[in-house]
Amino acid sequence: METTVKKYTFKDFSSDQEVRWCPGCDDYVILRSMQKALPEMNVKKEDVVFISGIGCSSRFPYYMNTYGMHSIHGRAPGIASGVKLANPALSVWIITGDGDAMAIGGNHFIHVLRRNIDLNIVLFNNEIYGLTKGQFSPTSLVGQKTKSSPYGNTQPPFSPGELALGAQARFFARIGGNNPKEMSTIFVESHKFKGTSLIEVLQNCVIFNDGCFKNVTDKEVKEDQQIYLEHGKPMIFGKEKDKGLVLNGLKLEVVTIGENGITQEDLLVHNAKEEDPTLHQMLVRMKYPVATGIIRSFDDVTLEERMNDLTAQVKENSNFKKTDDLFFSGETYEVK
Amino acid sequence: MNTAKIKEQPEVLEAVIIRFVGDSGDGMQLTGTQFSDTSAMFGNDIATFPNYPSEIRAPQGSLYGVSGFQVHIGSVEISTPGDEVDLLVAMNPAGLKTNLHAVKPGHTIIVDTDAFTKKNLEKAQYESNPLEDDSLENYRIIEVSMTSLTKEALKGVEGLDNKSITRSKNMFALGMVYWMYDRSTEHTEDFFNKKFKSKPHVIEANTRVLKAGYNYANTLELIPNSYTISPAKMSSGTYRIIMGNTATAWGFLAAAEKSGLELFLGSYPITPATDILHELVKHKHFGVKAFQAEDEIAGIASAIGASFAGDLAITTTSGPGLALKGEALGLAMMIELPLVVVNVQRGGPSTGLPTKTEQSDLLQAMYGRNGESPVIVIAASTPADCFDFAYQACKLALEHMTPVILLTDGYIANGSAPWKVKSVAEMPEIKNNLVIEVKENWHPYDRNEETLARNWAVPGTAGLEHRVGGLEKDKVTGNVSYVPENHEYMTNIRAEKVQRVQNYIPNIETEFAETGDLLVVGWGGTYGSLHTAVKQINEQGYKKIGLAHFNYINPLPKNTKEVLSRFKKVLVCELNNGQFSKVLSSNFSGIELLQFNKVQGLPFGNGELIQKFKQIVA
């Protein structure tokens, strides 16, 4: 049953704390997109919880006028899982970065996705450690020069989406840090989705990794370099809306509508709800164009649903209503 | 078969220690449990301890595959499973070899001679058959062809394969021991009837073998008489035999019901703590949310999350796991949330001796976190009082808004003893610091003036939205603060809050002597050993030796220094290299503390304690 909730504005979700990210950081965009998305979710402010780990991104809960916890490095998925299992009525959000989620918190990251608790994870990927001032992260590129790799990074990176799908993620979206409108839409969709949703934001770090996504996200190139996927719609992109994707054998291929007899009907139609993640994985891996939007959104049973069903079953079949029933049951004996 | 002896009046003993040993598959745990349950129902006081190999399915007949179960029963108060045994039942050569050292000279050993084959003797690394050479001449050996007699007894029972026939020989042994100690087979027969309800032939087989063993002992010339142990004087009421880990789990169930909160357990399997998880996952009917996490850190992290959301949150572990949880425990302490961390201590450091007992995590519990991060530390002292201290840990966590570490150990966690069943109604009230109503000018760090506990506003409560975190917070607003004086103030108030718990815990009381020559000091799981030893030495005429056994470690009871000062000498006995001694000396100057330490993965032996006490007072 949907209950109607007071109509909020983004201001209701802004705390009184001064935001202290570097000027020009994409984190401001993410914060504002979230504050604008929340009033669209039909959720009470007191039922919203933000849990973060450690890193620039993880200051986020302090700026939200909701319940929140700025926890310890990499452990937000564990804490958020506990919050949600304790009170499934809450809308629980994990705010994390590439280091927090995939280096120190890698183990928790894959397991939270595998379990499919109804949580929302926003991963700020800037391919660098910002708060510790510029070391390479698990998403930094080979050869990237950073403070801890002055001659170039030698460690090959993870792709967050690829890792997430491998870990059974049911919902994965990707969005540029300069696309507030689409970002808000994705936040609302991820809230609606029952299960763990992961949103990777391609977030520019103006200080330590400026321009890391400029070839993909800059205004001038983004329409040609990104394909914004929407469920049920053909895979079209480009400034002229003339490019599209087809499957050629086991490869995705970019084609131009009107060339070689290609029409819009030949293009792939995005099915985010497909259980088989093969095509989603190909889209995630694709370098040109870079896939954005909701790439995968497969409805599955959540962990808390499984747990609640089991508990209800056990309760129904059990004679134990109070702990005394257990303590005085079975092999007891009387001493007179 | 009319050769049965006319049963003489059994000889009355005060207490007896029996150990059943055999292969992992020989059913020694069941045999021991049946004997102890029967004795408990007869009215004896009991204490038991299992000893099984860490290998899951060790090769048959091997020395390291021996599984044992020791039971100590008495008409007098029994506080430990005991050291040296009066009767050893050895189902194979390996069992005899690995346990012979524990048998009192002159006492009885029952062996299954059918198991003393050339192959089994080789596996047990015997050069000659100990039953045939003179190596056992200091003991009374009762040789029984148990396997053959079991087969004989089962002739004509349909539906049994060879394996299940051989396997029931443990019931033959049990039947014999029942006769020897004048116990009825009735309880065990009832047990068969319930356990194998749908398999009547299995009930018949087991009952037949049990009775065959009983009757065989009756007719056997080698067993001259039987013994009996009269009921112990115990306060009246309903009892049950309980293992320490079960008692811990049940203490949490009781605390959740009493406090009206839902119980959340976040845990990762680790020996010897896992049985608490095993127990709590069963109790979904009470709404217990038990979450097996991907690692120790996620275990405590999920518990912190559940606590933030208003559940009574627990995490359970053993030494190495506590090390992994350290950072998260610091967070729980910093954000001042109620949380109970159970550490069932085992031999350390590192992986150490996982299946053995030790008390060497005390300093880790006290200080094993970065920064100034005091938490409440308490310790249970017997299998049964694990219930009370688990309950108390929850009460302190909820009433004082701080993490509590509950220390138990492998010895009391796996040991069992009678527990006088407690109804939740008779347990003390548990208050909590939940805020339900929105008050004007509310802040997350508003504190109770008496306890200094901060208030607990949980998500879902309108108007109390707030943020907590590991960064230092302003003492009033709860916002992030780097103000130097504020950090010092908050550091001190967190410490003061834990210190004030002194006002809510009982004073330490001594047993056996209030003042005198020697105060024996212990803490946690060594209570049974120390109590027994100090009691015995008093009975031997050393009337000026007292015992002070601590359950509250941080903070210590208010009168601790005064009590320590009443005796000429103080001897701190612990299964580590002097950790509680360090805690005491860092709190109280001017008191000389003698130490008796043991780090062998074993509990204190009665003999070594008494010898040490005598040496000091001599």
B46 and A CB contact within 8 Å: no
**Number of DSSP helices (H) and strands (E) in chain B, helices first:** 20, 23
| pLDDT above 90 as % of chain B | 89
With tokens 């205004």, the residue in question is A219
Residue pair A174/A202 in contact (Cβ under 8 Å)? The answer is: yes
Q: To which H or E segment does residue B12 belong?
A: strand B11-13
Residues B178 and B297 in one domain: no
Residues B254 and B224 in one domain: no
Domain annotation covers residue B474? no
Q: Could you give the CA distance from residue A26 to residue A97 in angstroms, rounded to a whole number? A: 13
Residue B441: CB partners within 8 Å, gap ≥ 6?
A: none
Residues A301 and A161 in one domain: yes
Subunit contact A332:B240, Cβ cutoff 8 A: yes
Residue pair B217/B4 in contact (Cβ under 8 Å)? The answer is: no
pLDDT digits (tens, 9 = 90+) for B461-510: 999 999 999 999 999 999 999 999 999 999 999 999 999 999 999 999 99
Query: What is the predicted pLDDT for the residue at A3?
Result: 61
Residues A165 and A257 in one domain: no
Closest Cβ opposite residue B295 in set A69, A107, A327: A107
Find, among B594, B598, B590, B599, the residue nearest to B616 by Cα.
B594
pLDDT at residue A24 is higher than 60: yes
Q: Which two tokens stand for residue B121?
A: 């003797």
Query: What is the predicted pLDDT for the residue at B380?
Result: 98
pLDDT at residue B415 is higher than 90: yes
CATH number of domain containing A37 = 3.40.50.970
Query: What is the predicted pLDDT for the residue at B9?
Result: 72
Subunit contact B424:A323, Cβ cutoff 8 A: yes
Residue type at B502 in one-letter notation: Q
Query: What is the predicted pLDDT for the residue at A1?
Result: 45
Domain annotation covers residue B565? yes
Query: What is the predicted pLDDT for the residue at B53?
Result: 72
Domain annotation covers residue A15? yes
pLDDT digits (tens, 9 = 90+) for B92-128: 999 999 999 999 999 999 999 999 999 999 999 999 9
CATH number of domain containing B141 = 3.40.920.10
Q: What is the 3-state secondary structure (H, E, C) of A221-245?
A: HHHHHEEEECCCCECEECCCCCEEE
Domain hosting residue B75, numbered range: 11-229
Subunit contact B310:A69, Cβ cutoff 8 A: no
Domain annotation covers residue B246? yes
Q: Are strands A171-176 and A290-297 parallel, antiparallel or unpaired?
A: antiparallel
Residues B348 and B224 in one domain: no
Q: Could you give the CA distance from residue B282 to residue B285 in angstroms, rounded to a whole number? A: 8
Query: What is the predicted pLDDT for the residue at B51?
Result: 81
Positive/negative CA dihedral, B203, B207, B99, B59: negative
Domain annotation covers residue B581? yes
Mean pLDDT computed over B283-298: 97
CATH number of domain containing B539 = 3.40.50.920
Residues A15 and A138 in one domain: yes
Residues A65 and A78 in one domain: yes
**Residue B398, Ramachandran bin (φ over 0: left; ψ between -120 and 50: alpha; else beta):** alpha
Q: Could you give the CA distance from residue A47 to residue A191 in angstroms, rounded to a whole number? A: 12
Domain annotation covers residue B431? no
Residues B300 and B172 in one domain: no
Residues A292 and A261 in one domain: no
Which of B365, B393, B426 is a domain's end point?
Answer: B426
Domain annotation covers residue A324? no
Q: Could you give the CA distance from residue A27 to residue A52 in angstroms, rounded to a whole number? A: 14
pLDDT digits (tens, 9 = 90+) for B137-194: 999 999 999 999 999 999 988 888 888 898 999 999 999 999 999 999 999 999 999 9
Residues B31 and B170 in one domain: yes
Which of B426, B446, B472 is a domain's end point?
Answer: B426
Q: Could you give the CA distance from residue A301 to residue B301 in angstroms, rounded to a whole number? A: 24
ipTM above 0.95, yes or no: yes
Residue type at B73 in one-letter notation: I
Residues A89 and A132 in one domain: yes
Residue B553: CB partners within 8 Å, gap ≥ 6?
A: B362, B365, B366, B377, B378, B379, B407, B523, B580, B583
Subunit contact A334:B459, Cβ cutoff 8 A: no
Helix (H, G, I), strand (E, B) or coil at A178: coil
When the pLDDT of each residue in chain A is averaged and rounded to a whole number, the result is 96
- Using a CB-CB cut-off of 8 Å, the residues of chain B touching A334 are 236-239
Residues A88 and A217 in one domain: yes
β-bridge mates for residue B480, sequence order: B473
Residues A47 and A128 in one domain: yes
pLDDT digits (tens, 9 = 90+) for A161-174: 999 999 999 999 99
Residue B57: which pLDDT band, with cuts at 50, 70 and 90? confident
Closest Cβ opposite residue B327 in set A65, A72, A334: A72
Helix (H, G, I), strand (E, B) or coil at B582: helix
Domain annotation covers residue A204? yes
Residues A218 and A157 in one domain: yes
Residue pair A175/A182 in contact (Cβ under 8 Å)? The answer is: yes
Q: Could you give the CA distance from residue B216 to residue A193 in angstroms, rounded to a whole number? A: 70
pLDDT at residue B6 is higher than 60: no
With tokens 């916890």, the residue in question is A69
Angle between helices B274-281 and B244-259 (to 10 degrees): 50
Closest Cβ opposite residue A335 in set B237, B253, B331: B237
| pLDDT above 70 as % of chain A | 99
pLDDT at residue B553 is higher than 60: yes
Integer-rounded Cα Rg, in Å, for chain A is 23
Distances (CA, A) of A282 to A104, A121, A173, A224: 27, 22, 14, 19
Q: To which H or E segment does residue B238 belong?
A: strand B237-243
Residues A67 and A20 in one domain: yes
Q: Are strands B45-51 and B66-74 parallel, antiparallel or unpaired?
A: antiparallel
Write the DSSP string, A286-317.
Answer: --SSEEEEEEEE-----HHHHHHHHHHHHHHH
Angle B480-B483-B484 from CA coordinates, rounded to 5°: 130
Mean pLDDT computed over A133-137: 96
B498 and A CB contact within 8 Å: no
Residue B225: which pLDDT band, with cuts at 50, 70 and 90? low
pLDDT at residue B281 is higher than 50: yes
Domain annotation covers residue B447? no
Subunit contact B302:A79, Cβ cutoff 8 A: yes
B237 and A CB contact within 8 Å: yes
pLDDT at residue B11 is higher than 90: no
B286 and A CB contact within 8 Å: yes
CA distance B206 to chain A (A): 20
Domain annotation covers residue B585? yes
B435 and A CB contact within 8 Å: no
Q: Could you give the CA distance from residue B306 to residue A82 in angstroms, rounded to a whole number? A: 4
Domain annotation covers residue A203? yes
Closest Cβ opposite residue A108 in set B289, B298, B464: B298
Residues A164 and A197 in one domain: yes
Domains in chain A, number: 2
Residues B122 and B191 in one domain: yes
Domain annotation covers residue A200? yes
Residue B24: which pLDDT band, with cuts at 50, 70 and 90? confident
Residues B278 and B209 in one domain: no
Domain annotation covers residue A173? yes
pLDDT digits (tens, 9 = 90+) for B344-364: 999 999 999 999 999 999 999
Q: Which two tokens stand for residue B269?
A: 């399997």
Residues B222 and B263 in one domain: no
- Note which residues in 453-482 of chain B have CB less than 8 A from chain A: 458-471, 479-480
Residue pair B131/B153 in contact (Cβ under 8 Å)? The answer is: no
Angle B555-B559-B564 from CA coordinates, rounded to 5°: 105
CATH number of domain containing B351 = 3.40.50.970
Query: What is the predicted pLDDT for the residue at B618?
Result: 86
* pLDDT greater at residue B53 or residue A305: A305
Query: What is the predicted pLDDT for the residue at B10?
Result: 79
Residues A255 and A245 in one domain: yes
CA distance A243 to chain B (A): 44
Domain annotation covers residue B63? yes
Residue B222: which pLDDT band, with cuts at 50, 70 and 90? low
Domains in chain B, number: 3
Domain annotation covers residue A70? yes
How many CB pairs below 8 A link A and B? 205
**Which range is least confidently modeled, A112-121, B63-72, B331-340?**
B63-72
E-assigned strand segments in chain A: 48-52, 67-70, 91-97, 120-125, 171-176, 197-202, 226-229, 236-237, 243-248, 251-256, 290-297, 332-335
pLDDT at residue B59 is higher than 80: yes
Which of B426, B446, B468 is a domain's end point?
Answer: B426
Domain hosting residue A240, numbered range: 235-269
Domain annotation covers residue A104? yes
| 3-state helix, strand and coil shares in percent for chain B, rounded to the nearest 5 | 40, 25, 40
Find how far residue B79's CA is from the centre of its chain. Answer: 12
B446 and A CB contact within 8 Å: no
Residues B130 and B168 in one domain: yes
When the pLDDT of each residue in chain B is averaged and rounded to a whole number, the result is 94
Mean pLDDT computed over B69-78: 95
Find, among B600, B249, B588, the residue nearest to B406 by Cα.
B249
Query: What is the predicted pLDDT for the residue at B421?
Result: 98
Residue B60: CB partners within 8 Å, gap ≥ 6?
A: B23, B25, B123
pLDDT digits (tens, 9 = 90+) for A54-70: 999 999 999 999 999 99
CA distance A217 to chain B (A): 33
Residue pair B478/B466 in contact (Cβ under 8 Å)? The answer is: yes
Find, among B24, B82, B89, B80, the residue nearest to B52 by Cα.
B24
Best of B188, B190, B286, B337 to mutate (most A CBs within 10 Å, chain A): B286
Residue B4: which pLDDT band, with cuts at 50, 70 and 90? very low
Find how far residue B47's CA is from the centre of its chain. Answer: 10
